[in-house]
Amino acid sequence: MAVNGKTILYGIVGNPVSHSLSPAMHNAALAAAGINGIYLPFPAPDIAAAVTGIRGLGVQGVSVTIPHKEQIMELLDEIDPVAAKIGAVNTVVNNNGRLSGLNTDWLGAMRALEEQIVLSGAKAVLLGAGGSARAIGFGLLERGAELVLSSRTESKGRSLADELGCPWVSLAESDTLSGDILINATSVGMEPHAENSPVAAELNAEFTVVMDIVYAPLKTRLLQDAEERGCAIINGLEMLLYQGVAQFEIWTAGKAPVAVMRSALQKALGRVGQS
């Protein structure tokens, strides 16, 4: 589709953003839906200046990534209640210059999980205490799951556990954990340290579903160990996909072409792996 004066502009702001797979996913979705739109990466070392640019240029929808998910909140006109609870925004909607912030990270994680297991009443063990863990933790509680948080750093872990109202267990004592769902929301196992796992291989046998938010590699050591022990596994690309699906549907008020978006992500990840 040719870019012209009627092309709707979308994008992602962060620093850096050159590695992002979101442009491939969203541009494929826009094309498949027949929407005259384009989604671009916007490197944004200064988030306040970027927000001014979003307003001034009429960018209709923006993804927000590291390190701006928290700082951007004070620059927006409206924050969705769930995003306010999570304390982070990854999606901005521009309605005639009025900017609203939402969080679809938790929606992406929940949709990926719900394809494998009913969350209400399930016991989930969540590894990590960063922004992703916060979003996933709030999402699990929102869906009625029982939650245990485990992390390496006690102060940060206990702080998040207190906010979530759930128990905290040191990652050093992870061999005591069990449940229905195990989720890795840390960067352990990410390339170039793909041989690492946040927990001992044997622990996976204590769970039915194992999810890893890391998507490079697509099948982490954690997921390999879990699959060998008969667990259903969910890779990090699924969370990225479904948070993008939610963004697309918020921005366009239409149904997202999920299969097209998944294929675009897989191809983009393959190109990254070859480079």
Return the structure tokens found at 138.
């709030």
Concatenated DSSP letters of 220-239? -HHHHHHHHTT-EEE-HHHH
Q: Exactly one of 6, 69, 219, 267 is catalytic; name it.
A: 69
Concatenated DSSP letters of 101-125? EE--HHHHHHHHHHTT---TT-EEE
> Is there a catalytic annotation at residue 69?
yes
Tokens 């205490």, located at residue: 129
Residue 108 and residue 215: Cα distance in Å, rounded? 14
Residue 202 and residue 123: Cα distance in Å, rounded? 18
Return the structure tokens found at 136.
């996933």
Are 121 and 141 contacting, i.e. CB atoms less than 8 angstroms apart? no
Residue 136 CA: distances (Å) to CA of 2, 56, 111, 125, 241: 38, 33, 11, 11, 15
Q: Which residues are catalytic?
A: 69
